[in-house]
Structure 1
Amino acid sequence: MPAPPQAPSARRTELLELAYAYVLQHGMGGMSLRPLAEAIGSSPRVLLFLFGSKDGLVQALLERSRADEVALVQQVRDGDGGAAEAAWRIWSWLAAPAHRDLLRLWAEGYGRSLVEPDGAWGGYAQRSVADWLAILGDTGADPVAATAALAVLRGALLDLLATGDEERTTAAVRRALTPLR
C-alpha cells in the first residue's frame, strides 16, 4: 500500500513563497535556478532537492499563482447578477494596477502552456480556463454566457497588459458585457 502524500515541509513552503514573490517581479520565462536561489537565500541544490527538478519548481509556482488568482477572483465574483455582473466585478479587480504582476505571470504561464504542452507548463491554460468557467458558472449562467464573459475578460486582459490602456479596455469590457446582462 503506497504511503499517503506528505504535507510539504515548512522549508519547501517558505522557499516556494519566496520564489513566488521573485517570479511575480521577474517572470519565469528566463528563470535560472542560480540567480533565483541567491535572491531567496537558498541554493540550486536545495531547490532541486525540495522540488525534484526545475520543472517541478515551475509547476509548483504555476499552481501557486493559480491558487492565488482563483482565490482572489472568487472573492470578487461573489454576489448576484449572473455571469455578466460577475465578469464586471472581476474586470474591476483585473484592471487594478496592483494586480499586474500576478496577471503577467498568468499570461506567461497561459502562453507557454500552449507552445510547450508537454513540458512543465503543460495543461496550465486548460486548467486556467476550467477554473474561470467554474467561477463564472457558479453564478448560474449557462455555459455559453460564461464562455462569452471569459472570452471578453481574457481578451481585454491581454490588451490591457500589452498597452496599459485601462480606460479603453474598461470601456470595451463594459460594452461587450452589456448584451450578456
Structure 2
Amino acid sequence: MIKLVPTRTLRALHARLSEAETAAEAARASYERIVEWNCALVDSVDRAEEVSARLRAELCEATAGVARLEGELETLRAQSLLDTEDRQALRTLLRATRKQNARADRVFVLLRFGDLHSVHATRDAAEIAAEAEGAPRSGWFTPSTHGETPAPAAGVPWVIRPVPLGGTQ
C-alpha cells in the first residue's frame, strides 16, 4: 500500500526533521559543554579540597603555635613579676648592706696558727667560719673578750682579731 503524501506535508516534515537535527546538534554541543564544565568543576572541587585540607593543617599548626606562645607568654609574665620581686628584694638587701657598711668601723680577721684564714664583717661570722673548718667551740681565741693573746699567735689554733678600718681608731 502506497500512501500519497502531499508535497506541502512532506516539506513540513523535512523542515521539522531539519529543525530536530539542528536542535539535537545544539543539545549535543550543550551536553559536551556541560561535560567539560563538569570536569572543570570536579577539578576545581578537588583542588579546593586539597587547599582546604592544607589550610586546615596550617590552622592546626598555627593554633598549636598560639597555644605554645601563650604558655611562653604566661611564663615570661610570671618571670617578669618574679624579676620585679627579685629586684625589690635585692634593693632592700643592698640598702641594708649599705647601712651596715656605713656603720662598719672594723673587720674581724680569722687566723689559724698565726696565718690569715679569712676576713669577716662580724665576729659571729668569723666564729661560724672557724667552726665550719672544724674548730671546737672553745678551740679559738678572741683578744677582745680575753685581753691580749697570752701566747704567740702561731701557738693558738684559732684567733679572731678585730682590725679597725680606714680612719677610725
TM-score, reference length from structure 1: 0.26
In proportion to residue count, which structure has more strand?
2
Looking at CA atoms only, which structure, 1 or 2, has the larger radius of gyration?
2
In proportion to residue count, which structure has more helix?
1
TM-score, reference length from structure 2: 0.28
Q: Which has the higher contact order (CA 8 A, sep 6+)?
A: 1
